[in-house]
A and B are shown apart, each in its own frame.
Chain A
């Protein structure tokens, strides 16, 4: 196998779940850990972490967000001695990447973070001490498609999936220096890592044009009608493409799609039946993990119905 000649990387990584994965995105946390356990990968949770700033703190002050994210990276590098931090949440992943970028190229951000870190009494993060990866990078690199193919034996065969990546995984392009680097790297215009992993597990990925469309997550409560319209667009497009399930990789997108699927029905009278599941839940099923261990009962859309129909339960 091609994978075996490669030195094994990411077998143990720092793990930054973030606030969402301890709240609304609990099923993502649970399924990520379950998949890690099954694959024999070690997750070392970042010590005494804090919120990365999400999408809100930057609107109060962007440099506070940089500080918050830098503190997480600092804890990972200095307290936990890890050089890779894996963040499954797109928001966390985006903010940590942005902090790395800003601290490398913007002296002003660097000065503010240094000053605040000193005042707060912890080591300031310096770019290069740890790097941030997404859960997709982690599985793709640590196990790879061949590894997954071997372990799943086409378990998801016949399942039609629309892969939805959202905004924060690819935009803005400049904070993701490792993307768009030719074959093998992730693309910011046509991301494919989730497609690759699910295809390796046997799923049939439908041709879905709204992979990086916006679900209106930032205004999910403050401008709900706009969010409902944006989500409905995504749900209807997925159904039109023949998808039975939308695979997500972000707790904000996931919760947004699920909440506004109900809201669209209640407020606009438009019903959609496509299911919404974290990609880790789908991979977990493919690896033979029980739905309950993957938090499937926490999903708002009735994912269990699809699992039974497609006999994905082991």
Chain B
């Protein structure tokens, strides 16, 4: 449903009574539907500052609600509930409950940056979407999104070896999200390509799995990156008022990976 056709009154705010008397007058029937009055008192006054403290969220304060971001948004065109302009409004107003209604789709931003291109106020809505998705995960409102799992699988490989290997990222992602590797469409692709490629290619691909692509003399870069990420994680937890034990380790890289090499 296009945004302009969306009803401002949600079904759960409508109350219908079959048998209702007010001050002794029977108002059942046609007059029995009421809109529940709604008073917002529980503003989360820290929310904007917390999201602004996460990477990507810095520019949120500049928004003046023109809606160019939502208007240009790739995801909005196929999922009309995906509305960066509205979410930025909610975050700045501190309307956490309202924001949480959409918590399961905020991660869907595809980083095409059409919003950033369109914004007249130099906000980076793409960054704000990522920061908001992180915030939701860190605060425990949502599970890690598939996108975040993919980013982690990918980044762990980069940090470990300096380079990635496509097939390993693919396998790692399917494994960690509990999906079968043999998806019908992937098989169809493999069959189609395998029919055309020379045998040498199959051998090359198998070898890439044994001798993984890596950057030489990477150990010190890796150590420097890991140290920086840990430092940033601690910084973000503090900014979000999370103590170490209770915090969900959304930005934490897997421990097992860090020990080898």
CB distance from B144 to the nearest CB of A (A): 11
CB distance from A27 to the nearest CB of B (A): 11
Q: List 23 A-B contacts (CB under 8 A).
A: A48-B215, A49-B215, A59-B151, A60-B155, A62-B55, A64-B229, A112-B228, A119-B220, A119-B227, A167-B113, A172-B113, A172-B117, A221-B150, A221-B170, A223-B108, A229-B78, A258-B189, A259-B189, A262-B185, A263-B185, A266-B188, A297-B196, A300-B189
Residue ID in chain B nearest A296 by CB atoms? B196
User: In the complex, which of the residues B108, B154, B155, B158 contacts A50, with contact meaning CB atoms closer than 8 Å?
Assistant: B158
What residues of chain B lie closer than 8 Å to A172, measured between beta carbons?
A: 113, 116-117, 124
Query: Could you tell me if B229 and A171 are in contact, using CB atoms closer than 8 angstroms?
Result: no
Residue ID in chain B nearest A229 by CB atoms? B78
What residues of chain A lie closer than 8 Å to B148, measured between beta carbons?
A: 59
Which residues of chain A have a CB within 8 Å of any CB of chain B?
A: 19-20, 22-24, 48-51, 53-64, 67-68, 71, 112, 115-116, 119-122, 167, 170-173, 188, 213-214, 216-219, 221-223, 226-227, 229-230, 258-259, 262-263, 266-267, 297-298, 300, 304
Query: Could you tell me if A51 and B166 are in contact, using CB atoms closer than 8 angstroms?
Result: no
What residues of chain A lie closer than 8 Å to B192, measured between beta carbons?
A: 262, 300
5 closest Cβ pairs, A-B complex: A214-B112, A23-B166, A119-B224, A222-B146, A50-B162
Tell whether B94 is near chain A: CB-to-CB under 8 Å. no
Tell whether B28 is near chain A: CB-to-CB under 8 Å. no
CB distance from B167 to the nearest CB of A (A): 8
Tell whether B53 is near chain A: CB-to-CB under 8 Å. no
Residue ID in chain B nearest A57 by CB atoms? B155
What residues of chain B lie closer than 8 Å to A71, measured between beta carbons?
A: 221
What residues of chain A lie closer than 8 Å to B113, measured between beta carbons?
A: 167, 171-172
Query: Could you tell me if A60 and B251 are in contact, using CB atoms closer than 8 angstroms?
Result: yes
What residues of chain A lie closer than 8 Å to B247, measured between beta carbons?
A: none
CB distance from A213 to the nearest CB of B (A): 7
Q: How many residues of B contact A (CB 8 A)?
A: 66
Residue ID in chain A nearest B147 by CB atoms? A222
What residues of chain A lie closer than 8 Å to B177, measured between beta carbons?
A: 222
Query: Could you tell me if B150 and A56 are in contact, using CB atoms closer than 8 angstroms?
Result: yes
Query: Could you tell me if A119 and B223 are in contact, using CB atoms closer than 8 angstroms?
Result: yes
User: In the complex, which of the residues B114, B155, B184, B185 contacts A56, with contact meaning CB atoms closer than 8 Å?
Assistant: B155
Tell whether B213 is near chain A: CB-to-CB under 8 Å. yes
CB distance from A49 to the nearest CB of B (A): 7
What residues of chain B lie closer than 8 Å to A259, measured between beta carbons?
A: 185, 189
User: In the complex, which of the residues B116, B145, B208, B224 contacts A116, with contact meaning CB atoms closer than 8 Å?
Assistant: B224
CB distance from A265 to the nearest CB of B (A): 8
Tell whether B130 is near chain A: CB-to-CB under 8 Å. yes
Residue ID in chain A nearest B112 by CB atoms? A214
Query: Could you tell me if B164 and A19 are in contact, using CB atoms closer than 8 angstroms?
Result: yes
Tell whether B85 is near chain A: CB-to-CB under 8 Å. no
What residues of chain B lie closer than 8 Å to A49, measured between beta carbons?
A: 215
What residues of chain B lie closer than 8 Å to A122, measured between beta carbons?
A: 221
User: In the complex, which of the residues A61, A170, A262 contacts B232, with contact meaning CB atoms closer than 8 Å?
Assistant: A61
Query: Could you tell me if A64 and B173 are in contact, using CB atoms closer than 8 angstroms?
Result: no
What residues of chain B lie closer than 8 Å to A48, measured between beta carbons?
A: 215-217
Tell me, in angstroms, the Cα distance from A48 to B152 when the chains sit together: 24
What residues of chain A lie closer than 8 Å to B197, measured between beta carbons?
A: 297-298
Query: Could you tell me if B108 and A226 are in contact, using CB atoms closer than 8 angstroms?
Result: yes
User: In the complex, which of the residues A19, A222, A226, A230 contacts B163, with contact meaning CB atoms closer than 8 Å?
Assistant: A19
Query: Could you tell me if A300 and B154 are in contact, using CB atoms closer than 8 angstroms?
Result: no
Residue ID in chain B nearest A228 by CB atoms? B185
What residues of chain A lie closer than 8 Å to B201, measured between beta carbons?
A: 298
User: In the complex, which of the residues B158, B193, B220 contacts A300, with contact meaning CB atoms closer than 8 Å?
Assistant: B193
